């Protein structure tokens, strides 16, 4: 089911696939939760704010600087 859930995020499912997924989600709380989580993560990655989320977490400026310095050091070593 995980593969079908992932595919549903990328393309329109056929009627049979759609029904199979929906019926499974009705009886499987774990998969229903997983689908909500991947939709939430996808919205965060796209920079969209959901109605339940007021702020999208951002990386602190000092953390960005440390990452940039580490990347520069890796580039210079190669």
Length of the chain counted residue by residue: 78
Q: Considering the domain boundaries, does residue 47 fall inside one?
A: yes
Asked if the structure places residue 77 within a domain, the reply is: no
The answer on pLDDT for 12 being more than 60 is yes
Q: Based on the structure, what is the number of domains in the chain?
A: 1
Q: What is the pLDDT of residues 19-58, one digit of tens each?
A: 999 999 999 999 999 999 998 988 888 876 555 555 556 7
Residue 72 lies in a domain: no
**Cβ proximity of 17 and 4 under 8 Å:** yes
Which tokens sit at 51? 């109605």
The boundaries of the domain holding residue 12 are 1-54
Residues 56 and 26: beta-carbon distance below 8 Å: no
65 part of a folded domain: no
Give pLDDT tens digits for 65-74.
898 888 888 8
* pTM (2 d.p.): 0.54
């Amino acid at each position: 089911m995980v593969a079908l859930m992932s595919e549903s995020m990328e393309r329109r499912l056929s009627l049979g696939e759609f029904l199979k997924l929906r019926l499974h989600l009705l009886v499987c709380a774990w998969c229903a939760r997983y689908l909500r989580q991947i939709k939430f993560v996808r919205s965060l990655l796209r920079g969209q704010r959901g109605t339940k989320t007021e702020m999208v977490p951002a990386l602190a400026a000092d953390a960005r600087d440390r990452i940039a310095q580490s990347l520069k050091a890796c580039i210079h070593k190669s």
